[in-house]
Amino acid sequence: MNHWRVIIHTKPFFVKSPLAIETEVPQLGMDAESIVQDFRHYFSHTLGWDTKHLVAHHVYSSLSHSMRDRLVERWKNTQAAYREQNCRRTFYLSLEFLMGRTLGNAMLNLDIEASTTEALRNLGLVLEEVAEQENDAGLGNGGLGRLAACFLDSCATLQLPVMGYGLRYEYGMFRQKIDNGYQLEEPDHWLRNGNPWEIERPEFTARVKFGGQTELHKDAHGRLRAYWKYTNDVMAVPYDVPIPGYHNGTVNTLRLWKASATEEFDLSEFNAGSYAEAVAAKNAAEHITMVLYPNDASENGKELRLRQQYFLASASLQDVLRQWVSNHGDDFSEFAEKNFFQLNDTHPTCAVPELMRLLMDEHGMTWEEAWKITSRTVAYTNHTLLPEALERWSVSMFGRLLPRLLEIVYEINARFMKVVALHWPGDVERQRRMSIVEEGHDQHIRMAYLAIVASVSVNGVAELHSELLKKYLFRDFFELWPKKFNNKTNGVTPRRWMAWANPALSNLITHTLGSEGKGWVANMVGHAASEGWLIDMDKLKGLVKYADDASFRVKWRAIKQDNKTRLAEMLQRDCGVEFNTNALFDVQVKRIHEYKRQLLNVLHVIHLYDRIKRGDTADWTPRCVLIGGKAAPGYKMAKRIIKLVNAVASVINSDPDAEGLLKLAFIPDYRVSAMEVICAGADLSEQISTAGKEASGTGNMKFMMNGALTIGTLDGANIEIRDEAGHENFFLFGLTAEEVEATRGHYNPAKIIAEDEDFKRVMHLLESGHFNLFEPGIFDSIIQSIYSPADPWLTAADFRSYVQAQREVSNAYRDTEHWTRMSILNTATSGKFSSDRTILDYNRDIWHLPQVEAKQN
């Protein structure tokens, strides 16, 4: 061991007495002039650029640094308040944080947009163009990762002491290109131009162990203790990202870990004379945070993924314990009252055995003491019922990589099995079913069961989903511990998804709600009135009565029209398809997955095309259909569906018969920043998953807030959206979750198709090769899946009812006044789907955190 080495995160690194550096620093100005000054300073001095070689991202970087300074002031004040109040905290552990862009959100939450716009104008620049320079931080796959980002926004806005812990992937979600209709994946090197929104904190570096073996020795007190030795260690270096609340001076922290090689590792090789090999070995360690796994709702059991999961869990827990010990020494008596960990699905569940390990092996606790703390400080959120997404790690791999953790998992299971045996004496089958270790010649660890056993709370993400968890997936556990199970319906942040994405609509809402009484005057002098509904979305109910106000409807429509123009411009640029803004904009954007049934959408488009071709166009409503989303690179069927969308699009869009009646576009590289434009410009939101399969959905909520109507199944949060909006303002179709289950075993799609003239014609067009004349056979697998009695997604079962509901959509859209009314009512009743409400629910039932106001300077 290299005892002589200076370990970088031990105390001597810090200077003891505070220097007179920070006293009396005046707050930075929020006016245009101060911003211009700072901008100039960053541009020419800090970043060292000049206008002779002006590059767009130089402008973006200079502005972002100026904004970050203003965040940093509030950030320090917030952290000081948390420290001084010694308050309880929650740590949100997630392998994904799909943050998107930061600049616009920072300006919005700092309430500095107007002066920044003016500052840039004085410099001859346009804010929107500068903001466009920013790469999305695509550190997530889809809904689960974006939910984590919305939650952080709400926690900061509600002034709750919540910190996010995640991984700083060098490469985020791949960039999707479309070539001849096929998806191509390109690496997303989002950090290429630097990242002004992070601050590296090498002083808080942690060391994470892998491999090796465990030994038992007596410690100084004669107690048997486990030692995990001969490990290959990797350093975890934190990068902090500021998370501002809305107009409230709070800035919370997202801490992202980067993997870095240990110096010892290099030195030992170096001393053996193999310098180049030593440097090359750095790579292996740094691979851990190199790339985000691009699978949405499917686990593939790769060793690197397990390394990522443990790396996050261990570094984050060590970080929390380090802070605890620096404030409380080895007194853990209040630890469980002051700290809480929320697991975003099972991905960070290594945190359970890791917390046990740290408390026992590093802090000398007994099993009972450690379990008392662990089992009081962890909660688990489940996001899916799909069996292919349930994480199971092979015991042999787990034991090789994390031998000490495997011992602990076995012990947790042994004790849990006793609980099961006591509750159901003699029920061996029940024990087998509930065991954390799945038996068989190839043993596996069931991460969901491990999470449940340790958790104080297990929640689903929409009412239906939470009920199905209790009834099916976790039935045994629900019978054992009914009070652990609860629902927390998802939400999205209205700051990004309304105020930022749809400023025109937000201003109209602000003025309309603000004109009632006291709000109006406040509104004349600033944002006072607008803050009302953006942080209390139930206030949107005040819009209900304006649905009957014809002049309000005119304004509402004009805004939607402008947003459709903006969306059409983006589509023209990104996929070369022209959308007529008078047509119905019918949108389905989300990850491509069979259960989400983009295929059903395409079948409907083909049906519309078929109607056009046979002249059945009386009372036609022109439609522009937009589909977008990424397929996991290894998911063959999903990739084939993308090709089908593009193939059908190229036939329809070049057929003069369809001109003015029907368009279909596939938008490449669907991502957070694209959704900001898409959700504002949509008329119709497609939420058409097989009932019981979409745990919640969150895109559905973004569309609703922006006045799109939903066509959907009784699945996930759709059910609650329909209940809020009113059943008459929602286009319902399809089997219920119960009917879906009842259909299994006697599903006969061939018969359904044969008895439906329209469906038969659609299938004939597909089978004839009409959309793939030069690539025969490429859609055979898709066609077969529709005909298969084993099709788990029951696409054919819902075809007729979907087509019927789409007819109603078309008819409704032609009644412009009525449609606008429904649109207004959707926005007006969307308050429940603010992530502020979701977070208040988590806090009331699970976290129990105080609201902590940031110190003011």
Tell me which residues touch ligand 9L8 (CB under 6 A): 141, 143-144, 147, 295-299, 345, 383-384, 389, 461, 490, 694-698, 716
In 599-708, at which residue ranges do the beta strands (DSSP E only) sit?
Answer: 623-628, 662-667, 684-687
- When computed from its CA atoms, the radius of gyration of the chain, rounded to whole angstroms, is 28
Shortest reach from residue 348's CB to ligand 9L8, in Å: 12
Task: Return the percent helix, strand and coil in the chain, to nearest 5.
Answer: 55, 15, 30
Q: CA–CA distance from 839 to each of 36, 154, 159, 217, 490 (Å)?
A: 37, 7, 11, 45, 9
Secondary structure letter of residue 515 according to DSSP: T
Structure tokens given for 746? 């006697």
Shortest reach from residue 480's CB to ligand 9L8, in Å: 24
Please say which residue, 238 or 294, places its beta carbon nearer to ligand 9L8: 294
Please say which residue, 307 or 383, places its beta carbon nearer to ligand 9L8: 383
Quick count: other Cβ atoms within 10 Å of Cβ 514? 22
Shortest reach from residue 143's CB to ligand 9L8, in Å: 3
In 503-636, at which residue ranges do the beta strands (DSSP E only) sit?
Answer: 584-589, 623-628
Shortest reach from residue 632's CB to ligand 9L8, in Å: 9
Parallel/antiparallel/unpaired status of strands 457-460 and 378-381? parallel
Please say which residue, 385 or 606, places its beta carbon nearer to ligand 9L8: 385
> Which segments of 379-491 does DSSP mark as H helices, in order?
395-401, 403-423, 428-434, 447-454, 463-468, 475-480
User: Among candidates 397, 387, 392, which has minimal Cα distance to 448?
Assistant: 392
**Alpha-carbon gap, residue 615 to 402, rounded angstroms:** 66
Check: CB of residue 369 under 8 Å from CB of residue 334. no
Please say which residue, 178 or 254, places its beta carbon nearer to ligand 9L8: 254
Secondary structure letter of residue 593 according to DSSP: -
Check: CB of residue 82 under 8 Å from CB of residue 161. yes
For 805, phi then psi, to 5°, come to -65, -35
**Alpha-carbon gap, residue 168 to 139, rounded angstroms:** 8
Shortest reach from residue 448's CB to ligand 9L8, in Å: 11
**Alpha-carbon gap, residue 562 to 574, rounded angstroms:** 19
Please say which residue, 460 or 519, places its beta carbon nearer to ligand 9L8: 460
Shortest reach from residue 296's CB to ligand 9L8, in Å: 5
Shortest reach from residue 567's CB to ligand 9L8, in Å: 23
Parallel/antiparallel/unpaired status of strands 684-687 and 709-712? parallel
Shortest reach from residue 459's CB to ligand 9L8, in Å: 10
Nearest 5°: the CA angle 556, 561, 563 is 100
Please say which residue, 253 or 687, places its beta carbon nearer to ligand 9L8: 687
Check: CB of residue 413 under 8 Å from CB of residue 430. no
Parallel/antiparallel/unpaired status of strands 206-210 and 232-244? antiparallel
Please say which residue, 455 or 698, places its beta carbon nearer to ligand 9L8: 698
Q: Is 180 helix (H, G, I), strand (E, B) or coil?
A: coil
Please say which residue, 61 or 295, places its beta carbon nearer to ligand 9L8: 295
Return the active site residues: 383, 590-591, 596, 698, 702
